Amino acid sequence: MRYNFKGKSSIQGSSLTRWFFVGPAMLVVICLLIYPLCSTVFYSFTDKTMIRSSYNFTGFENYQRILTDSGFWSSFVNSLIWTVFGVLGQIIIGFIGALCLNRIKSPVMRNVFRITAIIPWAFPSIATAMVWKWLLNGIYGFVPVSLQNLGLSEGLVQFFSDPDLVLPSLIFINIWYGFPLIMVNVYAALQTIPQDQYEAAQIDGASALQSFIHITVPHIRTVVGLLVVLRTVWIFNNFDLIYMITGGGPAGASSTMPIYIYDTGWTGRMVGRASTASVLLLLFLVILCVLYFKVINHWEKEDVK
Amino acid sequence: MKKLASAVLLLLMSISLVFAGGSAETSQAADGELSGTITFWHSFTQGKRMEAIQAAAEEFMAMHPGVTINIETMAWGDFNTKWNAGLTTGDLPDMSTAQNTGEVAEMLNVGVLHPVDSVIDAIGRDRFSANALGDMTVGGVVYGIPYYSHAQVMWYREDLLAAAGLEVPQTWDEFYDAAVALTKDGVYGAAVSLSPNDLLGTRYLNYYVRSAGGSLLNDDLTANLTSTEAIEGIKFWVKVYENCSPAETINYTVNDHATLYYQGITAFDFNSGFMIDGVRNNRPDLLPEVSCAMLPRMNEDDPLYSAEATHIPLVIWENSEHPEICEAFIEYLYEESNYIDFLSAVPVGMLPAISGISETEAYRSNEIVQQFAEEEAVIAQAVDMGRAIGFEHGPSAQAGLLANQGIIEEMFQDIIMNGTPVEEAAAAAEAELNEIFATMVQ
Amino acid sequence: MSLKKRFTAGSCFSYIYLAVLCVMAIFPLIWLVVSAFKSSGEMLANPTKILPVDWTLENFKTVLFTLRFTVNIKNSLIIALATTVIATVISALAAYGIIRFFPKLGNIMTKILITSYMFPSIMLVIPYAVVMRNIHLTNTRTGLVLVYMSFSVPYAVWMLVGFFKTVPIGIEEAARIDGANRIQVFTKVVLPLVRPGIVSTAIYVFINAWNEFLYAMLLVSSSSKTTLSVAVRTLEGADILNWGSMMAASALVVLPSIFFFILIQNKLAGGLTEGSVK
């Protein structure tokens, strides 16, 4: 006695069951994400401040002000640099780490390396900030003082106050914090590649580079693509690290979009203007991610073939 | 689709029902005995001050079984953000400290404070200094109770000055020369810290401008960064930064900054008596070498002056359902033994805001108070003569905003990092401040 | 011959690369933990010296007993665990629902979820502050957990959709024939199959909740309810700093995380891979 599975499901009043499954998540999205989005868009057209309950509609005045504010644009450029180099650095360092890990034959050493290398990932941002602030301190920090003692630098390197070094230093800290996630995930993906494919390639006389391009890359690019999306969003929106280490200074040299929004909305209390900046930031992110997903979808389709 | 909509609606409604039922009510018992719960925010996040207040609260609760006092502490730097956010979230305390006198003016600007004249009278109006009360009086009503006082003085290291054969500087020029002379061998003359997340740039500029008889605010409470004194002052501190300060301090906050002096990295610093406790906590070996004097002047024959005295206030919030409990608790905090316990948490750092305390045996018996008696006298003098930043025109929200928006600090950073001409940067910062005043002051 | 040489050169490089990476990774930890055993004076007098002259437990005592960090540890645990459990349940249901019941609509649903994962928390925090006030959850751990759903659920659904895709529909049909209802199929048949995916997703959610800082700082003010990260930040913002306590507090924030990571490091690996590589 065989009955129609699909038919059954639609008969059994299962639309309620369906909503039982997706309802709570929809609720989260509606309450916690759609509402704030609407209110942010709404406030972006007002002169609302944090300390007053009344406000007026100001049309596109906020947009005009923000888009002509040099602070906004320098934060935007900093955000791009911070994100692009942060993502690239994490991916490259982590990716090579995973490839190397895959090469290590001794299981003991492999575990030692793997466990040690994930330590930065376990650092909550407050601890990351604390430690690196001390290590890179330009007056008594371990790293600048050691560099000077070793004769590698003239005077103390100013990691946090030299406007040319502050953003790179922060990016370095961010890479330090984030590469383990990439490494661990890419390593796991590498292990799913059937070993016999490499053996076959070797027999066919393929070089290491060739087997890397034709076997390794296709197997792991979806994972790497996903990681890139996740990390891009995370790094672009990251607030804690910069806020706790430099607060965006000196003279805005390390101010990114989230810092700019915080300064406008919380320190400056201009909720309306901060909302405008948020809307612009979100718009940019959405455009970026649509592009990303186009690429990943393309890969996924290729994988199916 | 209809079903979806109704299911979502149902869930939303049930959730809001669950959450709506939670506001607790307390009431005052009929016999006049205090009863209810109050929340007390303060920013004494570490060590003995926190403990002293906690202990007082526990005793108070033991005396009044119907009363619960919830004490919440928050970082000094986040305090302003916190109550600003509270205006939006409704998460405000019944009573709190304020970071400084200027902040009381800001709170008043938003209309969130409860008058405290009755508490002042209960403690004894004549025991407070007229300056301190004046800083918290608007329209003849007092809105803050000075809890402790301190003032900015110049700290120096006796050993370093002696080794270089230098006298304690009396004028800004002497200070600069001494600071330059002491900048060597890993020691810096003085740190100029300019993080926009803190107020040190404003504070330093205010010293200089006040010593020249000027003010950062005009009589009509607009900002004034372009007066001759202000421009000179900005140039002076840029010069100090460039020649005697570690480069990194350009983005330092008060804490980063003070740590340098605690460590013996800076020879001079400007701060209140809190310096002593900082050095004692971090480098006890340097404690004997630490001393202070009144701020440098323009010319040696100028009269002594004080650029910034702060009376850290206790305030009661208008939204409190139990101002009577707050009042009673505050009066309890000022009872002699409680008050001295509290002050002794940071000896010489926190000077009594009421008379009749500093002479007592209990107060004077503190080891640090004895060791730093001279310094205490200097600071006490500065407290008597000083007002809060910008309060020479009376209490105003503008004075608070002047210090806590980081505009002056950004101006300094801009001049130093980007080489913006001083006059240009000062005019831009002045315009920005005036715009903020116009937006924020009601 | 040449093959063998290539391999040794390769693994030689691998060892060096990983060794450098590991030193970089572990050095700050060692430095932090060792510093926490120094007296404040020693730390400031000679900041470049790594090992303390006198080892002291004073800093840890201060942090744990005087500053009551145990309370903050408890708060962080409660909040992170509650977030993990609730978010994982909601997301597992949603991911399954999307795969099985909304094959067409599902694609749009996941897109919406992913888009919402992009919302910067700095943008959301003001509206949340208002929402929390309206539902009387300001300054509560419950409120914070609720807010944490905003970044946990989208992420977890996204991850889990990948895992649920791998469950063959045939198994479910068989169970249905045996008389199991939808929910039984889900709990008895499907869940056990995707357990590894759920575990690794839950771990990621936990880590993010444990490390969260911005909401915790701005939405909760009671010191009895604040999380560990905010408590450390509060210490740093004290007007008289005690660096010894700061180091000990930071060590206390880091060490439990590290033990947790080592404990679960096998599960961490699964993460994105199993879900997305089919």
Report pLDDT digits (tens) over C191-215: 888 888 888 888 889 988 988 998 9
Nearest chain B residue to A22, by CA: B4
The 10s digit of each residue's pLDDT in B256-279 is: 898 889 888 999 999 999 899 888
Instruction: Give me the CATH number covering residue C230.
Output: 1.10.3720.10
Q: Which of A32-41, A74-83, B186-195 has the lowest mean pLDDT?
A: A32-41
A243: chain B residues, CB-CB within 8 Å: none
φ, ψ (nearest 5 deg) of residue B226: -110, 5
pLDDT given at position C239: 63
Residues 12..71 of A with a Cβ closer than 8 Å to B: which?
Answer: 15-16, 19, 23-24, 26-27, 30-31, 47, 49-52
The 10s digit of each residue's pLDDT in B90-124 is: 788 999 999 888 888 888 888 899 999 999 999 99
Domain membership of residue A8 (yes or no) is no
Residues C114, C209 share a domain: yes
Residues C129, C210 share a domain: yes
Nearest chain C residue to A115, by CA: C262
Residues B323, B277 share a domain: no
Residues C99, C14 share a domain: no
Q: Closest Cα of chain C to A214: distance in Å?
A: 16
Residues C202, C140 share a domain: yes
**pLDDT level of residue B181 (50, 70, 90 thresholds):** very high
Instruction: Give me the CATH number covering residue A227.
Output: 1.10.3720.10
Count of domains observed in chain B: 2
Q: Compare C187 and B167 and report the one with higher pLDDT.
A: B167
Residues C199, C91 share a domain: yes
φ, ψ (nearest 5 deg) of residue B269: -155, 160
- The average pLDDT across C73-100 equals 91
Residues C129, C76 share a domain: yes
The tokens 């993502």 sit on which residue? Answer: A87
Residues 200..219 of B with a Cβ closer than 8 Å to C: which?
Answer: none
φ, ψ (nearest 5 deg) of residue B150: -155, 165
Domain that holds residue C11: 2-58
Domain membership of residue A56 (yes or no) is no
Residues B319, B301 share a domain: no
Domain membership of residue A270 (yes or no) is yes
Q: Compare B12 and B154 and report the one with higher pLDDT.
A: B154
Residues C68, C206 share a domain: yes
d(C-alpha B315, C-alpha B92), whole Å: 12
Nearest chain C residue to B12, by CA: C135
Three-state DSSP state, B71: strand
- The average pLDDT across C175-189 equals 82
Domain membership of residue B410 (yes or no) is yes
Residues B300, B174 share a domain: yes
Nearest chain B residue to C221, by CA: B72
Nearest chain A residue to B408, by CA: A251
Domain that holds residue B88: 36-149+310-378
Q: Which residues pair with B40 in a beta bridge?
A: B71, B95
Q: Which of C24, C211, C268 sits opposite A124 (nearest CB)?
A: C211
pLDDT given at position C257: 84
Instruction: Give me the CATH number covering residue B328.
Output: 3.40.190.10
Nearest chain A residue to B11, by CA: A27
Count of residues for chain A? 305
Q: Compare C54 and B59 and report the one with higher pLDDT.
A: B59
Partner-chain contact B46 C67, CB within 8 Å: yes
- The average pLDDT across B174-184 equals 94
Q: How many CA atoms lie within 13 A of C120 on its CB side?
A: 30
Partner-chain contact C138 B41, CB within 8 Å: no
Residues B221, B198 share a domain: yes
Partner-chain contact B250 A250, CB within 8 Å: yes
Residues 63..82 of A with a Cβ closer than 8 Å to C: which?
Answer: none
Chain B neighbors (3+ CB pairs < 8 Å): A, C
Residue A250 has pLDDT above 80, yes or no: yes
d(C-alpha B229, C-alpha B208), whole Å: 8
pLDDT given at position A13: 41
Residues B142, B163 share a domain: no
Residues 88..117 of A with a Cβ closer than 8 Å to C: which?
Answer: 93, 96-97, 99-101, 103-105, 109, 112-117
Q: What does DSSP assign to residue C66?
A: I
Q: Does B289 touch chain C (CB under 8 A)?
A: no
d(C-alpha A63, C-alpha B71), whole Å: 42
B369, B76 Cβ separation under 8 angstroms: no
Q: Closest Cα of chain A to C234: distance in Å?
A: 11
Domain membership of residue B106 (yes or no) is yes
The 10s digit of each residue's pLDDT in C9-53 is: 778 888 999 999 999 999 999 999 998 888 777 776 676 777 888
Q: Does C221 touch chain B (CB under 8 A)?
A: yes
Partner-chain contact A139 B246, CB within 8 Å: yes
Partner-chain contact A37 C254, CB within 8 Å: no
H or E element at residue C210: helix C195-211
pLDDT given at position B28: 44
Count of domains observed in chain A: 1
Residues C109, C228 share a domain: yes
Residues B122, B43 share a domain: yes
What is the residue-averaged pLDDT of chain C? Answer: 82
C219: chain B residues, CB-CB within 8 Å: 89
Partner-chain contact B88 A50, CB within 8 Å: yes
Q: Closest Cα of chain B to A76: distance in Å?
A: 18
Nearest chain C residue to A97, by CA: C18
Q: Which of B8, B87, B417 sits opposite A163 (nearest CB)?
A: B417
Domain membership of residue B25 (yes or no) is no
Q: Which of C115, C147, C269 sits opposite A188 (nearest CB)?
A: C269
Residues C166, C47 share a domain: no
Partner-chain contact A162 B247, CB within 8 Å: yes
Q: Does A35 touch chain C (CB under 8 A)?
A: yes
pLDDT given at position C260: 85
B426, B411 Cβ separation under 8 angstroms: yes
Partner-chain contact B248 A137, CB within 8 Å: yes
- pTM strictly above 0.90: no
The 10s digit of each residue's pLDDT in A210-227 is: 888 888 888 788 778 878
Residues B339, B249 share a domain: no
Residues C223, C213 share a domain: yes
C35: chain A residues, CB-CB within 8 Å: 134
Q: Does A51 touch chain C (CB under 8 A)?
A: no
Q: Closest Cα of chain A to B128: distance in Å?
A: 31
Nearest chain B residue to A161, by CA: B248
pLDDT given at position C145: 94
Distances (CA, A) of C277 to A219, B63, B427: 8, 67, 60
d(C-alpha C42, C-alpha C46), whole Å: 6
Count of domains observed in chain C: 2
Domain membership of residue A218 (yes or no) is yes
d(C-alpha A162, C-alpha A170), whole Å: 12
Q: What percent of chain B has pLDDT over 90?
A: 64
d(C-alpha B65, C-alpha B51), whole Å: 21
Q: Compare C75 and A221 and report the one with higher pLDDT.
A: C75
Residues C228, C129 share a domain: yes
B281: chain C residues, CB-CB within 8 Å: 40, 240-242
B263: chain A residues, CB-CB within 8 Å: 140
Q: Which of A124, A180, A208 sits opposite C257 (nearest CB)?
A: A124
Residues C43, C68 share a domain: no
Q: Does B254 touch chain C (CB under 8 A)?
A: yes
Partner-chain contact B45 C238, CB within 8 Å: yes
**pLDDT level of residue A305 (50, 70, 90 thresholds):** low
Q: Which of B71, B263, B346 sits opposite C240 (nearest CB)?
A: B346
Q: Compare A6 and A207 and report the one with higher pLDDT.
A: A207
Q: Does C213 touch chain B (CB under 8 A)?
A: no
C269: chain A residues, CB-CB within 8 Å: 184-185, 187-188
The 10s digit of each residue's pLDDT in C220-268 is: 877 788 898 888 888 876 666 677 888 888 888 888 888 888 888 777 6
Q: Closest Cα of chain A to B189: distance in Å?
A: 13
Partner-chain contact B249 A161, CB within 8 Å: yes
User: Residue ranges of the alpha helices (H) in C37-68?
Assistant: 40-45, 58-61
Q: Which residues pair with B293 in a beta bridge?
A: B154
Domain that holds residue A253: 69-304
Domain boundary among C58, C77, C93: C58
Q: Which residues pair with B171 in a beta bridge?
A: B297
Domain membership of residue B356 (yes or no) is yes
Residues 327..366 of B with a Cβ closer than 8 Å to C: which?
Answer: 346, 349
C92, C198 Cβ separation under 8 angstroms: yes
Domain membership of residue A77 (yes or no) is yes
Q: Compare A219 and B367 and report the one with higher pLDDT.
A: B367
pLDDT given at position B3: 47
- The average pLDDT across A62-71 equals 92
Q: Does B303 touch chain C (CB under 8 A)?
A: no
Domain membership of residue A191 (yes or no) is yes
Domain membership of residue A59 (yes or no) is no
The residue of C125, C130, C218, C221 whose CB has the most chain B CBs within 10 angstroms, and thus the best one to mutate to test that interface, is: C221
B4: chain A residues, CB-CB within 8 Å: 19
Q: Closest Cα of chain B to C225: distance in Å?
A: 9
Residues B296, B314 share a domain: no
Residue C131 has pLDDT above 50, yes or no: yes
% helix, strand, coil for chain C, step of 5: 80, 0, 20
- The average pLDDT across A283-299 equals 80
Q: Compare A277 and A106 and report the one with higher pLDDT.
A: A277
Nearest chain C residue to B50, by CA: C67
d(C-alpha C184, C-alpha B27), whole Å: 51
Residue A5 has pLDDT above 50, yes or no: no
Per-residue three-class SS string for chain A:
CCCCHHHHHHHCCHHHHHHHHHHHHHHHHHHHHHHHHHHHHHHCCECCCCCCCCCCECCCHHHHHHHCCHHHHHHHHHHHHHHHHHHHHHHHHHHHHHHHHHHCCCHHHHHHHHHHHCHHHHCCHHHHHHHHHHHCCCCCCHHHHHHHHCCCCCCCCCCCCCCCCHHHHHHHHHHHHHHHHHHHHHHHHHHCCCHHHHHHHHHCCCCHHHHHHHHHHHHHHHHHHHHHHHHHHHHHHCCHHHHHHCCCCCCCCCCCHHHHHHHHHHHCCCHHHHHHHHHHHHHHHHHHHHHHHHHHHHHHHHHHC
Residues B157, B145 share a domain: no
